[in-house]
Every structure is written in structure tokens, then in C-alpha cells.
A and B are shown apart, each in its own frame.
Chain A
Amino acid sequence: MTEGVLIHKKADAGEIAGEIKEVTLIPKKEIDIKLEADVITPDSFAGKSAEEIGMLSIWQGPKTYPLSDFFEVIGNGGSSADETQIRIKGDATRVKRIGEGMSAGKIEIEGSAGMHVGTGMKGGEIVVYGDVDSWAGMEMLGGLLHIKGNAGDHVGCAYRGKWHGMKGGRIMIEGSARHQLGGGMDGGEILVEGKVESFCGIRQNGGLIVVNGGALRGVGAEMAGGTIVIGGKIERFAPGFEFVSMENKVTSGEVELIGEFKKFTGDYAISKRAKGALYVSADANPEL
């Protein structure tokens, strides 16, 4: 098994001048049709009172409603996104797009989050105590998305139809994730404590994916660049990779991992010029 030495850079390294204000959202009722709640960001809460925040409108199906129809809002926003912290006290499984495009500040979700949490986020931090639905951190540009539970499909992936996903920032998952994690990823880091399913790093162009556990199949399929590290067993190894060497260390950006790895490059199934690097645990994959 790998012993990861992860150097955690504080996401909010810059000096914050003002006072940090916390806005608490408490779910009021069961949500039937899922909410499109891209207004739940420090950016849109900043400079607003609790009452004004409650007036922000969110889509549910074909209609818009004020945020206060679904959440009790306590506390005012800070004077900038940087100085605004949002705490969702409860379950947000049926709330989509929390933190979409946020540039700074922090969101803590004390339950699970719906689809598209942290999509396109540019900075700041999101912590989810529970699980997240699919598309977490889709096309993320910067900041930190920390998921304490499990994640669904398409973490840090590109939107349907294109192959340029996450470009920067970091996604940490303490549990496991499902299919197509990091699809089309161009940069940044995704770290998974548990395991992943199919096509992790499909069409990856850059950046780093580290999975401590195993993977089902198709790891790095059609990847052209970037690095993938798999600490567990890959059930079905993609055919387009070539063995390069044995390594006892993987270094990528600020991350250094110690362990016995077999290094492969590829995926040569389509392009002969591919530059993807795939490290797999030597112990867990003796047949490779």
C-alpha cells in the first residue's frame, strides 16, 4: 500500500482583512423536485443580510422560489466572498449546484450534497460531511472540495460532450467514487482514499489522480497526459499501456507518494504520441 505524503496547502492562504461572517441555512421541509441552487455561494451571499439572502431565487422545475421557502436563513453575509462562510445544517441531497462557480470563502455542508456541488469553482473551500451525488467539482478551476463520504459519477469531469474537465484546485474524497472520475481532466488534483469504478481518468490530459484503493477497469483509457496513481488492484487493465519501469516514489507537483509502483505510459490505443503516466501498486497487481 502507498504511504501518501500529502502537503496540504491552505486554500485561503491570502490574508483576510475583515471579519468572517457565517450564514447558516437550515432545511425547512422535504424537497420533491430537486433544486437548482447555484445561488448558494459566498459570492452571492456576500454583502447581503439574512433577509436579502432569503429572497435570492432558485429554480425548482419550471418555477423560481425564494431560498427562504426551503431554508431558514440565519446570519448575514460578510462584506466579501472571502469573509463569508456558509453552513448548511442538515441534508442537501436534493439540492444541486451548491457552490457553483464560487471564487472564495467557505461552504460546510453537515450532511450530503446533490449533484454538481462545486461545479466550476474557482477558489475557496467546500466541505461535505456526508456523500455527494454525481458531477462534484465538474470543470473545477481552483479551490478545495473536501468530501468526507462517498462520491457519485463524473467527479472533476468534463461536461457531457466535451473532453476538458477540471483544470485546477483539489478534490479530496475520504470515501470512494464511482465511474469516470477525472474525465478529460486538464490540471489540478483528485485524491481518493477508497476505490473507484470504471474509466477513472478517461481522456485525461493533465493533472494528478491518486486512488488509494482499487479500480474496476478502463483506468486512464484514452489518456494523453497527466498522472494516475492506483494503490489497489485494477480488475481489468486497459490494453493500450506499455510498462516502463519499477519506481519507489511518485512525485507530481506538491504531492509525493512513497511505495513500490509499476510505471506505465499510454494510452497508445488511439494516439501513438500519448504522454499519460499510470502508476499501479506492484504488490496489488502482481500479474501486470
Chain B
Amino acid sequence: MAGTIAIKNGYVFDPLNEINGEIMDIFVRDGKVVRELSAAELKDAKVIDASGMTVMPGGVDSHSHVAGAKVNAGRSMRPEDHYKATLQKTSLTHSGSGYTVPSVYKQGYDYAAMGYTTVFEAAIPPLEARHTHEEMRATPLLDMGGYLILGNNFFLMRYLRDGDIEKAAAYVAWMMKTHKSYGIKCVNPAGVENWGWGKNVHSLDEANIHFEITPRETIKGLSEVNELLGMPVPLHLHANNLGHPGCYEITKDSLQILDGIKPRQNMDVEWAETKMDPARDRSVYLAHMMFNSFAGTTWGDCESGVKDIAGYINNKDHVVIDSGCTPFGEATVMTGDGPAIQDMYKLTGNKWSNTDVEMEGGSGVIPFTYLKSNPVHSLQWAMGLECLLLINDPWKTIMTTDSPNGGPFTKYPEVMTWIMSEAFRKQTFSECHKWANDRSALGGINRELSLYDLAILTRANPARTIGMAHRKGSLGVGADGDITVYDINPQQLDSNNYEALLRAFRKAEYTVKGGEIVAVKGEIVSLPEKRTYYSEVHVEGEKEKEMLADVKEWFRYYTLGFANYPTPEKYLANPTPIQVNGER
């Protein structure tokens, strides 16, 4: 029977159900986790003997750049990223190529090979939503969704400046439906708009040109809208001044703006059984914290500011972060933060691209290589790991590389091993520039995360943070049958033997998606259907009408007609709307 499987005798790590390495059997029927299978069902079910192995929910990546115009720009401007990283087709799988920015097929297979089954695209410019959905639809195996870039949107900046939160909320609700997207992403609030004039904003209270709205007002307004609508995800923030020495201060001040905001997630979904409350309890989700955490004044005197932000987050309960680790090697930097890309061009002289997305935002792409011999790159490596190790509560952290900005997602095994093994960190310290040790606190940290912690950072917490814990990130009854089996025996786990951990994380023993085995030891064996999630947000009809009148009036400034703006459902693979803010 398809989608029915029993995974027996594994050491199970399911943090949302507070299961910490108990030997258990996990049963899945028709794609969903069930308490047990009948004798008759068991007879027909596939059975995996996971004795001596680690069993976790399927991996969830809550912040990765995997689909859309800038990702594809990264592919097309980098032939040199493709000619050595090639994948031959098989009778089952498609061919592919690309190391930091793989083609859609290859990235689906590569994620699944590592045990990941759910990936959310970090930034969708509304005008590029169709393109983004086309690529997500073509990416095999992964359940997906994405966040809409709204931090420099003409309509929203106008409403927020005028304090018209209700209309702003109606606009956001309409945009989520229109572009089949899932949450609010805010990139360099108020700053990207200034970039259209060759400028930026440099403090939270600097008003931008024409709209005269400040980053502080934008962050506060978008967060109010987010909680008013009861969105699944907290406001997903890429703070101002990213990637500049000294930026940690503005990052900390930005987080402070949202202290005291009450998280209000209002989704009408069927919740899988979990022991912990699976609803999100944070009001801000800070993206790729490492890039936002530089102290110092120049690249000559810069140092880690992670300790300071981590201290703040340790004392507060409204912040969750993903790390944006930089595991050394090739990367392709891509962001909605156009000016940040131009700054990197000035540093590196590399080829680069920049785009102004009409009335909605900006974007840019530049190739980058993180070198162990480079002092700043070595410091960045240490800072990324500090983000995950200096914040005490694992439920406040998520492991990412901001793929492919810090490095491709295929380097996750390295990052997972660094946070689990001090010996592996020491090994890397011995190979990289001394700034990694001298200008960060990493060398003095002997914390090693457990497999339970790792399951929080790579499964339970990303799912809970983005409002997917009703079906992802746990193995509770009713959850999706997405399961990873790693060849790691927790009883014999030796963090000094980091080579064994790297091997196990690079190729999961089994990746199960919706109860079907999709990968065995990194090899793809089946290609079941996938889903795309988006927020169907409901607001009062009258407000929507008023808002649409404004939108239509300004729509003449777009290069396309109003009727051609929406992304129809046919662009999505198995569109799965999540009802937000009640039924209409």
C-alpha cells in the first residue's frame, strides 16, 4: 500500500512530543503518522528495520533560496558553478547540474538525499511569484512554500505611513492569496526603496525618500499587520545595514521594536498530536543572524557582535533566529537587498547583477568564495556557529546557511557536525585564519548539541516557527509521514569521531516522504507527489474593496495589467491553502 510504512526499533528523536532517543516503532498509513497498523495493514506495509539507528521527523528548512528570478539569475550568470557539478539522469530521475545553485531537479534530489522533505523559499518578489511557483512546482520531492517580500512595497509604505493598519492588512491578505504565498518577509525595511535613488537608510529613524517612512515604522507596522491577521509565520526580518561592520546594534534595536508584541497565530488547520504546544510563540523571526551581527567599525577592526545579540535573545522570549552559517567554499549571494550586493561588488570586484522590482523591492546576485585563509571569512564561520551555540534555548534557533548565501544547503552536514562536535571545531580552527578565534567567543565554547537539540534546530523548531507544526516537524499522530533515518547509533555516539557524523548526515540511510521511501543512502528511489502551501487570509469584504480601489488606481505605474498580476493555482503543485484569520 502506497504511503504505508513501519519504521521499527529506531532511537526516535521527536522534540515536539518530548521523545528523546526512546526505542520506538513509527507507523504511517496513507501518508500520515498513526498510532499503529492492523495486522492486515502490516502485512502489506513496507518495514524498515532501524535498529541501532536514529529516527527523526523529515528535515524542515525554513529559510533557503531555491526558486524564482534571483535564483535563476544565479544559475544563468554562473556557468562555472555547473560544469563540474553534474548529475546524470536515470530511468527515474532527471539530469541536473550546479553546485551552489543547482537546477530545480538536482536541488530536490540533493535535499531529499540528506533527509530533508520540506523547504521554504525565503524571498518572493510579488511580480516574480509566477516564476517562483513554476520552479517550486518543478522541484521534486519537497513540500514547499515561500515568503512574500513586502518591506519596501509602495502600497504598504503608503498605508503604514498614514497609520492605516486595516487597509495594510487587507492588502497583505489579498497579496498572499493573489500570489499564493505564505508569510511576510521584510528585507532592509525602507532602505531598498532608497536604493532606487542610489541611496540607503542607515538608522532606524531615518525616513526614506518620497514615502517618508522609517525602518522602525515599517517593522512595527508589518508586525502589527502580521499579528492582526494571525499569520502562520512571525514577521521574517532581514534587518537594515546587513553585512556591515557595526551592524549588530541596529539588529538588536530592530528586535527591541517588537518586544511586547503578542504572537497571535490564527490558523484553521488540523493539528497533529504533540505534547508541546505547537503554536508559534515568537513575534519576530530574524533571518540569517550571522550577517546581521558584525561589531567594529571597518573590516580591519571588525569582530563578532553575536554575543551581544545572543545575550539579548537569551533574556527575551519574542525572538527566533536562523543562523546563516558560512561553512567555507563557494557560495552565491542573492538577496532582495540590492545595495548590499553592490557593497559586496565593491569589496570583491566579482561579476554582479541588480534588479529594481518596480513598485515592490529590489534584488541582486553576486558569486562569493569564503576562504579559510581570509580573516573576515574565518570570523564569519565562527560567528555563524556562535549564533547557534551562544543562544541557550534551542527553541530560539534554527540551523541554516541562508543557502546559497553562506554556502549551499549541501554543506548542512558540516554545520550540523560543527555544532555537535568541539573536536571538529578545533580541527577547523587549526585550518583557518586566527581571527576566527581571536575575534569571536567560539573558541571558549565547549557546548556540544545533542541529537535531540539537533532535531529541534533542523525539524521541530523551523516547523513550529513557520506555523507548519500542525503537520511537519513531529512524528505525532496525524503528522505527515516525513521521516529521516540516520545511520547514527546514539548509544555509541562519539562527538570526537566527526567523520562518522559527517558521513551519516550527508546521506541519510532512509528518507521517507508521506510514508514512501524516497531515498536510500542518498540514492533517489521514488518520486511521490509534493505539495505547495500558501496562506488564504480572510479579511472583511468592505475593507478589501476600499483597498483594491487604491491598488487599481496606482496599478498604472506597473508594467503589466491588473488582470495579469495574480498567480493562478495551476502554477502550484498540489496547492494546499491554509485558512488564516477565519472563514470568510
Contacts and interface: CB of A to CB of B under 8 A. Distances in A.
A63 interface: no
Interface in A152-169: 158-162
Interface in B178-197: none
Instruction: Classify chain B's interface size.
Output: under 10
A270 interface: yes
A194 B451 CA distance: 64
B557 interface: no
A162 B77 CA distance: 10
A271 B77 CA distance: 23
Contacts, number: 15
A170 B81 CA distance: 26
Contacts of A270: 349
Interface in B47-85: 77-81, 83
B80 A162 contact: yes
A161 B351 CA distance: 9
A160 B349 contact: no
A159 B79 contact: yes
A271 B346 CA distance: 12
Interface string B388-428: 00000000000000000000000000000000000000000
Contacts of A161: 77-81, 351
Contacts of A160: 79-80
Contacts of B80: 158-162
Nearest to A222: B349
Contacts of A158: 80
Contacts of B78: 161
Nearest to B81: A161
B444 to A, nearest CB: 37
A271 B79 CA distance: 25
B371 to A, nearest CB: 13
B81 to A, nearest CB: 8
B101 to A, nearest CB: 12
Interface in B322-366: 349, 351
Provide the main secondary structure of the chain B interface: loop
Nearest to B89: A62
Contacts of B351: 161
A159 B83 contact: yes
Contacts of B79: 159-161
A73 B372 CA distance: 47
A120 to B, nearest CB: 9
Nearest to A271: B349
B208 to A, nearest CB: 33
A38 to B, nearest CB: 12
A162 B351 CA distance: 9
Interface in A140-188: 158-162
Interface in A230-288: 270-271
Contacts of A271: 349
A270 B348 CA distance: 12
Nearest to B351: A161
A162 B81 CA distance: 9
Nearest to A158: B80
Contacts of A159: 79-80, 83
A271 B351 CA distance: 15
Nearest to A160: B79
A161 B330 CA distance: 14
Q: Which residue of B79, B80, B81, B351 has the most chain A CB atoms within 10 A of its CB atom?
A: B80
A108 B77 CA distance: 37
A95 B81 CA distance: 25
B179 to A, nearest CB: 32
A159 B83 CA distance: 9
A166 to B, nearest CB: 15
A158 B349 CA distance: 17
A158 B351 CA distance: 15
A159 B349 CA distance: 18
B577 to A, nearest CB: 40
Interface string B256-287: 00000000000000000000000000000000
A122 to B, nearest CB: 15
Contacts of A162: 80
B561 to A, nearest CB: 37
A117 B83 CA distance: 16
A276 to B, nearest CB: 15
B466 to A, nearest CB: 35
A162 B82 CA distance: 11
Interface string B77-109: 111110100000000000000000000000000
A271 B349 CA distance: 9
B126 to A, nearest CB: 30
Of the candidates A159, A160, A162, the one having the most CB atoms from chain B within 10 angstroms of its own CB is: A162
B4 to A, nearest CB: 38
Nearest to A159: B80
A158 to B, nearest CB: 8
A160 B82 CA distance: 10
A159 B77 CA distance: 13
Contacts of B81: 161
A115 B80 CA distance: 17
A156 to B, nearest CB: 16
Nearest to A164: B80
A128 to B, nearest CB: 23
A158 B78 CA distance: 13
A270 B345 CA distance: 13
Nearest to A162: B80
A116 to B, nearest CB: 11
A112 to B, nearest CB: 24
A217 B351 CA distance: 23
A161 B83 CA distance: 10
B191 to A, nearest CB: 28
Nearest to B350: A163
Interface string A199-241: 0000000000000000000000000000000000000000000
A160 B77 CA distance: 10
A158 B80 CA distance: 9
Nearest to B77: A161
B367 to A, nearest CB: 8
Nearest to B76: A161
B273 to A, nearest CB: 50
A185 to B, nearest CB: 15
Contacts of B349: 270-271
A258 B78 CA distance: 42
A159 B82 CA distance: 11
| Residue from A159, A270, A271 whose CB has the most chain B CB atoms within 10 Å | A159
A162 B80 CA distance: 6
A159 B97 CA distance: 15
B527 to A, nearest CB: 22
15 contacts: A158-B80, A159-B79, A159-B80, A159-B83, A160-B79, A160-B80, A161-B77, A161-B78, A161-B79, A161-B80, A161-B81, A161-B351, A162-B80, A270-B349, A271-B349
Given A159-B79, A161-B351, A162-B80, 12 more contacts: A158-B80, A159-B80, A159-B83, A160-B79, A160-B80, A161-B77, A161-B78, A161-B79, A161-B80, A161-B81, A270-B349, A271-B349
The 3 lowest CB-CB distance pairs between A and B, nearest first, are A161-B80, A162-B80, A161-B79
Interface of A: 158-162, 270-271
Interface of B: 77-81, 83, 349, 351
